[in-house]
Amino acid sequence: MQTLTIAFVAGARPNFPKIAPMLAALRAYPQVTPLLVHTGQHYDPELSSMFFEDLGISEPDWMLGVGSGSHAQQTAAVMVEFERRCLEQTPDAIVVVGDVNSTVACALVGAKLHIPVVHVEAGLRSGDRTMPEEVNRLVTDTLADLLYTHCYEGDDNLRAEGVADERIHMVGNVMIDSLMKVRDRAEAPDLDPEWIIERGFGLITLHRPALVDNEASLRPILAALGRISESIPLIYPVHPRTLARMKSFGILEEDAEPPLALPGTRVLLTAPIRYLQFLWLMDRARLVVTDSGGIQEETTVLGVPCLTVRENTERAVTCREGTNRLLGVDPAVVEAAAAEVLRAPMPDLDQVPPLWDGNAGERIAEHLVGWLNAKKEAPAG
């Protein structure tokens, strides 16, 4: 039997629930040594180490510690440090997930060092190259040797770009594996109980640069949230980037510290919330308003109405086969859609996309080990 060392790269908050199920599934393969790489793109405990605790992931083997910076600085810093480590100890494969800067940086290093690169959550396309994540997806998919998709649309997108069928494998959604595994262990966050009545609150996550970095788009959307909160209280865990913008635009005082209500509203701004507690909130919310990628998928599986405040989505499958509605960024449209959701009964949880069943990690582990063994046994040249 061949021994295999496989590097798993995680850098930012949404990556951790994606790698955990693969690491767990690989315990059934004693010939495989997983090498956990944390790039340090996210470093605040609520965005990083607490996810490790909640998902039962062990300490990283390689901690690259790159931190924040411009896109070029951050991507380059990950590349330099990851390349250095790979030259010291060369893994048999590099598995990258999602679409963050750490994903593309490590895919580039692997491709240049001729280490097989595997992309999990491949083939998603928003068609919007002004989104940094779209650029990261395009480059990563071009470089990866193996492309694990989570919906058939991902396969279609890749084929349309000329990717050969043998590189594409639809395996289902690893992030949903994590959700299903920890749903029963989810716990209430430490917030005033009067805010968190079951189905009696809305949950907000808005953090994309296109929305929050611009006062002209952030102020009107916050005003719309304020008006929605006249009907239902809203809980808004705020990403550090968004908090900084709220302060610099004078929406919050310089020394404001969450939790606090957005002035004049029933919108409760909180610090970022760890995975187990965020899941608890999502599972009990009456509606979710978001610009995140993963949350569009999680709400679909939980059967919670999701209003996506973006002009496009790479996850159209959640609109067709789930609870998501793509609204655009007009605050009046968001307000009207929220009112409509609040008038309607909770949707029936009657469908989720194929293979979003909690077993994607196992499918990947089995396929990947077979693929790498075959590669090692194949005659060179």
Q: Does 274 bind ligand UD1 (CB under 6 A)?
A: no
Q: Does 41 bind ligand UD1 (CB under 6 A)?
A: yes
Q: Are 328 and 311 in contact (CB under 8 A)?
A: yes
| Minimum distance, C-beta of residue 56 to ligand UD1, in the bound complex (Å) | 21
Distance of CA 175 to the CA centre of its chain: 8
The verdict on whether 119 is a catalytic residue reads no
| Minimum distance, C-beta of residue 255 to ligand UD1, in the bound complex (Å) | 17
**42 to 71: interface string for ligand UD1, x by CB under 6 A:** xxx--x--------------------x---
| Minimum distance, C-beta of residue 104 to ligand UD1, in the bound complex (Å) | 9
Helix (H) or strand (E) holding 217, with range, is helix 215-228
Which tokens in the block code for residue 291?
């610009």
227-247 as b/e, with b when 16 or more CB fall inside 10 Å? ebbeebbbbbbbbeebbebbe
**281 to 300: interface string for ligand UD1, x by CB under 6 A:** -----------x--------
| Minimum distance, C-beta of residue 373 to ligand UD1, in the bound complex (Å) | 33
The residue from 115, 191, 215, 240 that contacts ligand UD1 (CB under 6 A) is 240
The residue from 76, 128, 132, 181 that contacts ligand UD1 (CB under 6 A) is 132
Q: Does 133 bind ligand UD1 (CB under 6 A)?
A: yes
Give the angle 272-273-277 at the CA atoms, nearest 5°: 170
For ligand UD1, which stretch binds (CB under 6 A), given 150-158, 193-201, 237-245, 295-303? 237-245
The single-letter DSSP state of residue 232 is S
Q: Are 156 and 124 in contact (CB under 8 A)?
A: no
Q: Which residues contact 349 (CB under 8 A, 6 or more apart)?
A: 302, 303
Q: Which is nearer to ligand UD1, 167 or 247 (CB)?
A: 247
Torsion angle (degrees, nearest 10) of CA 239, 241, 246, 247: 120
Residues 204-233 that bind ligand UD1 (CB under 6 A): 207
The residue from 4, 6, 12, 267 that contacts ligand UD1 (CB under 6 A) is 12
Which tokens in the block code for residue 119?
């992309």
Task: Kindly report the length of the chain.
Answer: 381
Q: Which is nearer to ligand UD1, 14 or 202 (CB)?
A: 14
Q: Which is nearer to ligand UD1, 14 or 34 (CB)?
A: 14
Which tokens in the block code for residue 165?
């069928």
Q: Which is nearer to ligand UD1, 291 or 335 (CB)?
A: 291
| Minimum distance, C-beta of residue 299 to ligand UD1, in the bound complex (Å) | 15
Best CA proximity match to 145, nearest among 342, 377, 374, 321: 374
Q: Does 101 bind ligand UD1 (CB under 6 A)?
A: yes
Q: Tell me which of 38, 207, 239, 367 is the catalytic residue.
A: 207
Q: Does 241 bind ligand UD1 (CB under 6 A)?
A: yes
Helix (H) or strand (E) holding 6, with range, is strand 4-10
Q: Does 14 bind ligand UD1 (CB under 6 A)?
A: yes
Q: Are 75 and 105 in contact (CB under 8 A)?
A: yes
Cα(355)–Cα(348) distance, integer angstroms: 19
C-alpha distance from residue 266 to each of 14, 331, 341, 372 (Å): 28, 17, 18, 54
Active-site residue numbers?
A: 207
Q: Which residues bind ligand UD1 (CB under 6 A)?
A: 12-14, 41-44, 47, 68, 74, 100-101, 132-133, 207, 239-241, 292
